[in-house]
Structures are given as structure tokens and as C-alpha cells.
Chain A
Amino acid sequence: MELRTLSYLIVGATFALYLFIAFWARANSTRDFYIAGAGVHPISNGMATAADWMSAASFISMAGMIAFMGYGGSVFLMGWTGGYVILAMLLAPYLRKYGKFTVPEFIGDRYYSKWARLVAVLCLIICSVTYVIGQMKGVGVAFSRFLEVEYATGLLVGMCIVFMYAVLGGMKGITYTQIAQYCVLIMAYTIPAIFISLQLTGNPLPQLGLGDTLDGSEVYLLDKLDQILVDLGFNEYTTDVRLSTLNMFAYTLSLMIGTAGLPHVIIRFFTVPKVKDARTSAGWALVFIAILYTTAPAVGAMARLNLIQTIQPSEGVYLVYEERPQWFKHWETTGLLKFEDKNNDGLIQYSADPATNDMVKIDRDIMVLANPEIAQLPNWVIALVAAGGLAAALSTAAGLLLAISSAISHDLLKGIVAPKISEKQELAASRLAMAFAVLGAGYLGLNPPGFAAGTVALAFGLAASSIFPALMMGIFSDRITKEGAIAGMVSGIGVTLFYVFQHKGIMFVPDTSFLGDMQPNWFFGIEPNAFGVIGAIVNFVVAMVVSRMTQAPPKSVQNLVASIRIPAGASAARDH
């Protein structure tokens, strides 16, 4: 069957499934809408969390980033998985015991202050909105590349699907669609990887294939890749450090605590029945994430090797441009590949030297998107990759939209502006907030603001420097006061924003960066995206110092802290 028809069929079938779930899992109460009635099985929640977590960036871009960074790309692998260890031990079980609906609600109660809650809402919205723009763009891009429809049309279709299940079902609808989306995306990711690993090494498991010898030879795949890259003038793949050891250290730690502090991930752990389930569920989430994250480095390395060997089949032999394969032409038309014949010999020469390199652009996304075509896999595999990319973007977008809309309807409206509204009214308000959040995200996806490109990485820095420390100190100390927490959050997020803006421009407008985006000016050589950990340290220190100078929290707060540390006993969710 033709590729385009197949793509429509497979993507259409997955969308029909999501809509079916939307009607089946409708929310009947605010408890359903915000936390899926706290009745989700820990393994199911693990799967939903994995889909919630793995975004268009994980699915489409990460393997490509690793392919071009080599060892340096490890910061993403360790950073985006190690956070779950922190989440499972330091946050999830206690927040589950506390048993309410949102992250700002916990901060407001623990720090006995509406101001603290408001600051938390602001931090949450800044983190989540920047993140959701990237997802909406991912939806539009996946549609336009695979199904050859307009970017805007694709975005609109994606919005309608999310609208149906998120507005009708809230967290309940989102949870069960995310489970389906996980299944789609993991098949779409692993099947091509298995094929390619088999082709190159004869080993069906990519995790083992990456450490195996090339099929029919005694040479290890990684040694071969190192050697080819060095011959072309690039750094050695397996030892290519990202900037400096200190920078890699800071970047990894920022991503880890950012992961643990992202509200749309944390609220997933409110949906399981018990504290015990919150712990195991984090383990299951990481199992499902690890399946993709341990496959990604294999995909990256193998795709890079495949690409180079296509262009340059053996030493000194180059591909003739006129005889380039179909996939090359296809991705040239999308602008992701660009060829410029520097010496007019009609051959494709690829090297690290900009003066002679003919491949002036190889977009990193191509490593996943074009992988099945480069490896000449059957059309249904290519169609599956389209459905997988859409599933990854939609599932993350829905989780983020729920975090945003529940902060608006539950924290701002019910918590601060109009505490007297009934549950029915709040449920209606939460649906309305969700509807507006979807429309707003769609608008931003259509007209991405100038700063959108730089902000997904920033979302981690912001979560790391504001929400994570406030939550952790709230659980591990009963001495932190409201003044301490507010001062800590404001200064943590402030320092991080200041550092990013001074190097990347205020709101990412290039001309306004007053120190310039130059390495010599970086604080100990730490790149702006890795600065969240410094912001977090500032947050911790400020909060502790201010708390020492202000009056201790009331007895009721000390009791709250004592009660969330122990699984048994009444949870605070009773009054809902």
C-alpha cells in the first residue's frame, strides 16, 4: 500500500481509539477531573506517567541530539531518568499522603499562606506554558511532515482530539488515553530500532547491539563510529565531553531536579490509591521510560553510522549527488537536509571542516524521522513512526494542560477568588479552564512567540529552582516558614531567569543580552540551560536563612508535616 494511505490509516486508527476512550472515561466529579478518582492502578499510572513525561522532544529529537553530541548527550539520558529516583523517595509518597488535588494547594497549606500558593501558581504556569508550546509545535510538525497537510490544519486536528478527551474526562480521560498513547509510541520507537540493530549487528536488542560487533566483522560498532568520525575531523563519539565536566555535572543535576519538580509529572502520583502505590508507581514509570531511554543512544549511534556510510560507502568513495536515494530527496524538500556542492564535483562530501563540507545542514530530528527510510524498512513502520510522534506530543500536551487548568480553576478560582462555589460549579469551571487552556495553547502553537525555541530547556531550570526546593523543604523540615518559602521561590526563579536573560537576551530577544552569549562570561563555564541547579541552591539557602529570622510555623503546620510522613491515618483529602 502507498505510504501516505498507510499513514492516514494508522494515525486515523489511533485517533479513533483516543476518542473512544474519551467517551468511555468521562469525569463525573472534581475528584475524577483532577486526580482520576485516585483509583488508577500503579502499573497503569506508571505507563501514563511515561507517556505524560516523554514529549515530542524525547521521541523525535533526543536520539538525534545524542547522535551529534556522542558522550555529551548522556546529560539528557541521565538527567531525564535520574529525577524519578528523587521523585520516588523525596516527594511522591508524601504528596500522595497529603492527598489533595494540585501542587500549589500543597504549597499553600504547608506554608499557611495564600501568597505562597499564588507564587506557586505563577511558577507552575511559567514552566508549563513554555513547555506546552513545544508540544503544540510538535503536533503541527508531525502532521505536516508525515501526512502532508498544512501545519495549521494539523495543529487544529490535534487540538480537537485533546479537547475531546481532556474537557470531557479531565485527568481520568487523560490517564487512559495516555496509556494507549504509551503503547503506540513505544512500538513506534522500538520496532525500527530493533530492525536497525539487527541489520547492523545481528543483535535484536538495541541495548546490546550498541555494544556488539558489526555484522560479519570483528570490529565493534562504537569503535567503527569513533574511527569514522575522527577520520572526518569530528570529535571521538564515545568521549566527546559537553563543554566541561563541571558543566555536564550541573546540567545533569538541573535536569534531574527539574524533572522531579515539574507539576504535570507530580500530579500523576496523586491518582494512585495508596502511598505504597506512589512508590512502586514511580518505579514502573521509570521502567517504561527506560525502555525508550536505553534504546535512544543505540538509535542515535546507529543512525549516525548509517547516514555516514550511505554518503561515504568506503574511504575516499563518495555518493554521487545525482544518484542520491529517495529519502535524501524527500528530506531535502522539507529543508531538514541541505546539500551545497562546494567544489562542484557532483559528489557528496561530509566532514567537520566547514570549507569542504557539502552537507551544510543535517537537522538532528532526521535521525529518528528518516531512520526507517534510511534503513529501507517497510512502509507500515514509517507510518507507525508518524503515529508515535503524534502520541508523544499529544500525551504530554494533555498532561500539561491539566496542570495549567487545575491551577486556574482549583487554586486561583476555588482557592483564592471564590472559595464558596459548589463542587458542580467548580467542575464546570475546570472544564471551561481546560477549554481555554487548549485554545490558548493552540494559539501559541500557531503563533509561537520569539522566545519559544529556547524555553523548553528553561522549563526544567525554572521547575528546579522554584517548585522542587519548596516541596522538598516543606516535607523534610517543619521549620521553614511562609516568609522563607516565598523568598526562596522568588529568589531561586529570579536568579535563574536573570542568568538566562543576561546571556540569551531579555525574553530571548537577542539584542537585549547585556553580557552576550559567550562562554568566557559564563559563571564557572556553566551554560544557561544548566543553571537551574544554582537557582535551586539559592532557593534553599535563602529559604533557610529567612526562616531562621522569622517566627516558627504554627502547630497545625507541624502536625501536617508529621502526618504526611506516615502512610497510615486520615489523609487531608477528606474535606473534598
Chain B
Amino acid sequence: MARLTEQQAKAYWRRNVSLMITLLIIWFVVSFGCGILFFDFLNQFQIGGYELGFWFAQQGSIFTFVILIFYYAWRMAKLDAEFGVEEE
């Protein structure tokens, strides 16, 4: 198991945090954005019988959450491998 230098550890953490921030912005946009703040605006569009804002609030945001977590896990596994910090 490789030991990271302080610089490497910092770089690893920075990459983790920036990935996290990107994903949390999406998290915020689909729930608080589409589901609440822009609810009225989005409701002028429809998918099937759903008005779009309503769909995000009761269905779409939840599906997006699931995708976000798996994407994070996948990207972090790659990052761990790149820095050689996976657990054996």
C-alpha cells in the first residue's frame, strides 16, 4: 500500500471535493431548483400527463439522486486507483 506525500494527499482531496461540488450543484438544481424554485416555470412543459415541475418534485429528482450517488462511487473508485489508495 502506497503512502501519499502531503502534496498528493492534498491533490487527492481537492479532486474529491471538486467532484463533490459539481454533483451537489446538480443535486440542488434538480430538487430545490426544478422541484421548488422554478416549479411554476417548468410546469408549462409536459411529459405525458405530468407537468414538468411536478414530475421533478415527485419523480425526477429521486431518479437523479440515485444516478448521482453511483456516478460519485464510480468516479471515486477511479480516483482511488489513480492515486493508489484503494483498500486491498
Provide the residues of chain A in CB contact with B87, threshold 8 Å.
274-276, 567-568
A567 adjacent to B66 (CB under 8 Å)? no
Provide the residues of chain A in CB contact with B66, threshold 8 Å.
283, 286-287, 290
Using a CB-CB cutoff of 8 Å, which residues 84-118 of chain A contact chain B? 84-86, 88-90, 93
> In the complex, how many angstroms separate the beta carbon of B8 from the nearest chain A beta carbon?
9
Provide the residues of chain A in CB contact with B45, threshold 8 Å.
none
Our pick among B57, B62, B88 for the contact of A290 (Cβ within 8 Å) is B62
> In the complex, how many angstroms separate the beta carbon of A301 from the nearest chain B beta carbon?
9
> In the complex, how many angstroms separate the beta carbon of B64 from the nearest chain A beta carbon?
9
Given contacts A220-B49, A567-B86, 14 further A-B contacts (CB under 8 A): A71-B39, A78-B31, A84-B69, A85-B69, A88-B73, A89-B24, A210-B58, A238-B51, A249-B36, A276-B87, A279-B73, A293-B62, A297-B58, A569-B1
| Interface residues, chain A, with chain B CB atoms under 8 Å away | 66, 71, 73-74, 77-78, 81-82, 84-86, 88-90, 93, 207-208, 210-213, 220-223, 238-239, 245, 248-249, 252-253, 274-276, 279-280, 282-283, 286-287, 290, 293-294, 297, 562, 565-569
> In the complex, how many angstroms separate the beta carbon of A175 from the nearest chain B beta carbon?
20
Provide the residues of chain A in CB contact with B3, threshold 8 Å.
569
Contacts A/B (CB < 8 Å), 9 sampled:
A71-B54, A78-B35, A85-B27, A88-B73, A207-B59, A220-B48, A220-B49, A287-B66, A567-B80
Provide the residues of chain B in CB contact with A82, threshold 8 Å.
27, 31, 61, 65
A210 adjacent to B50 (CB under 8 Å)? yes
A565 adjacent to B37 (CB under 8 Å)? no
A252 adjacent to B36 (CB under 8 Å)? yes
Q: What sequence of 0s and 1s flags, for each residue 51-86 of chain B, a beta carbon within 8 Å of any chain A beta carbon?
A: 100110111011101101110110011001000111
Q: Nearest CB to that of A203 among chain B residues?
A: B48
A213 adjacent to B61 (CB under 8 Å)? no
B62 adjacent to A210 (CB under 8 Å)? no
A90 adjacent to B48 (CB under 8 Å)? no
Provide the residues of chain A in CB contact with B80, threshold 8 Å.
276, 567-568
Q: Nearest CB to that of A296 among chain B residues?
A: B58
> In the complex, how many angstroms separate the beta carbon of A298 from the nearest chain B beta carbon?
9
Provide the residues of chain A in CB contact with B76, threshold 8 Å.
93, 276, 279
Q: Cα distance A239–B55 when bound, in Å?
A: 11
Q: Cα distance A400–B66 when bound, in Å?
A: 25
